[in-house]
Amino acid sequence: VTREDCLARDAADPLGAARRRFVLPEGVIYLDGNSLGPLPAATGPRLAAVIAEEWGEGLIRSWNAAGWIDAPHRVGDKIARLIGARPGTVVAVDSTSVNLFKVLAAACALRPGRSTVLSEPGNFPTDLYIAEGLTRLAGGKRLKLVDWDEVVAAIDADTAVVMLTHVDYRSGRGFDMGAVTRAAHDAGALVVWDLAHSAGAMRLDLAGCDADFAVGCGYKYLNGGPGAPAFLYVAPRWQEAFSQPLSGWLGHAAPFAFEPGYRPAPGVGRYVCGTPPILSLAALEVGVDTALTFDLAAVRAKSQALVDLFVDLVETRCAGHGLRLATPRQAERRGSQVCFAHPDGYPMVQALVARGVIGDFRAPDILRFGFAPLYVRFVDVWDAVEALRDVLASGAWRGEAFATRAAVT
């Protein structure tokens, strides 16, 4: 493979035009869209219009006239199309952590006779922390952690809920959503999926997999902006079966009746809690609209090709520096990111960032690179690996400036 080969692949790329839909700074190769997606070109103008017209001119009238009150449902229905869910099953609200609390509470309540919430220790910490907090509060349930490979075998008659992140945030390996959901249902358990690292990066089929509940992030592959609202999914069969504990007024059947008692809204609407952040939802909607413009099968195919190329180039051009592939080699077993482990991963990532190649570091030793096919090119993969080769060969990462850990890694 040569740099020219990479340029030729870009010229033939059916997603090549998608890059123009994003604002990307000169001199930056962005391999971190799995942490914070870049700015879509349409977001600034859209937010300016929402601010000037809907907020500035429309004022409070915009709750009705500009459809603000429906935004969680409208954006939720668009996200549903990306994750294989039917209209009326997704709302865009709150953070992933808060949404997990709501759907996990529902799933636990729907399995009263069983005592375990089953997960694995490598799950994203907020998922484990939320489960801990919920089980402490609710009583009668406990969190049980088993190794990633042993999750399916550990599902038993006492499992109330299997709670998993679909694509692992560190290693990038993915669970087979259909198979795990089937195994859980066969044992009488429910499943909660965290789609933070898969929604927008690959085709998902929540309805086809018969998933029960799911949550996911708006600021990663959906390019909704820093702290964008997250989303949650509730299968139609569970929507009326339980009313989630964060029973705020906008999840009430008639919020503007101002009744003293709570009556849940029909359907997934009861999972809305308080006033939705309209500016953030407007930004998220642009990101989701951008993702909906492109075929997710093409996105997935290119993501697999980008990662294959990156792994191949790192292993051939950066050999001898102790980097160990920590992501499955088979494309269908991983998400849209790749990790290499190295004890000096932190300064190495910082030295790369100083050269304009932005990936991230995940403790204790992971160099993580995300490949978002709407704007990452094959030539970016080549150039990123050349930068890594230079950082390793020159020992530049040993510089003092790269040793101090910032608050956000």
* 124 labelled catalytic: yes
Among positions 96, 198, 337, 350, the unique one binding ligand PLP when judged by CB under 6 A? 96
Nearest-approach distance from CB 290 to ligand PLP, in angstroms: 20
- DSSP letter for 265, please: P
Size of the chain, expressed as the number of residues it contains: 409
- Closer CB to ligand PLP, 231 or 310, in the complex: 231
Which listed residue (22, 30, 101, 124) is catalytic? 124
**CA atoms of 302 and 320, how far apart (whole Å):** 28
Can you read off the two tokens belonging to residue 295?
């075929």
Which listed residue (77, 194, 212, 380) is catalytic? 194
Give yes or no for residue 68 binding ligand PLP (CB under 6 A): no
Which listed residue (21, 102, 114, 220) is catalytic? 220
Among positions 126, 144, 207, 255, the unique one binding ligand PLP when judged by CB under 6 A? 126
Nearest-approach distance from CB 57 to ligand PLP, in angstroms: 32
Give yes or no for residue 217 binding ligand PLP (CB under 6 A): yes
Give yes or no for residue 318 binding ligand PLP (CB under 6 A): no
- Closer CB to ligand PLP, 97 or 247, in the complex: 97
Neighbour count for residue 292 (Cβ, 10 Å): 13
Distances 391 to 346, 352, 355 between C-alpha atoms, Å: 13, 7, 9
Angle between helix axes 378-394 and 296-317 (nearest 10 degrees) is: 30
- Closer CB to ligand PLP, 35 or 62, in the complex: 35
Long-range contacts of 23-29 (CB under 8 A, 24+ apart): 24/375, 27/356, 28/356, 28/357, 28/358, 29/356, 29/357, 29/358, 29/376, 29/380, 29/383, 29/384, 29/387
- Closer CB to ligand PLP, 165 or 239, in the complex: 165
Neighbour count for residue 230 (Cβ, 10 Å): 29
Can you read off the two tokens belonging to residue 361?
């570091």
**CA atoms of 197 and 52, how far apart (whole Å):** 34
Apex 124 CA angle, 392 and 141, nearest 5: 155
Cα-atom radius of gyration of the chain, to the nearest Å?
22
Among positions 28, 88, 95, 325, the unique one binding ligand PLP when judged by CB under 6 A? 95
Give yes or no for residue 83 binding ligand PLP (CB under 6 A): no
* 360 labelled catalytic: no
Alpha helices in 41-124 (DSSP H): 43-49, 62-65, 71-82, 96-109
* 362 labelled catalytic: no
Nearest-approach distance from CB 373 to ligand PLP, in angstroms: 19
Tell me the site size for ligand PLP, rule CB under 6 A. Answer: 13
According to CB under 6 A, which residues from 158 to 197 bind ligand PLP? 165, 169, 194, 196-197
Quick note: the x/- pattern for ligand PLP over 226-245, rule CB under 6 A, is: ----x---------------
Give yes or no for residue 374 binding ligand PLP (CB under 6 A): no
Nearest-approach distance from CB 24 to ligand PLP, in angstroms: 21
Contacts to ligand PLP by CB under 6 A: 95-97, 124, 126-127, 165, 169, 194, 196-197, 217, 230
Among all residues, which ones are annotated catalytic? Answer: 124, 194, 219-220, 368
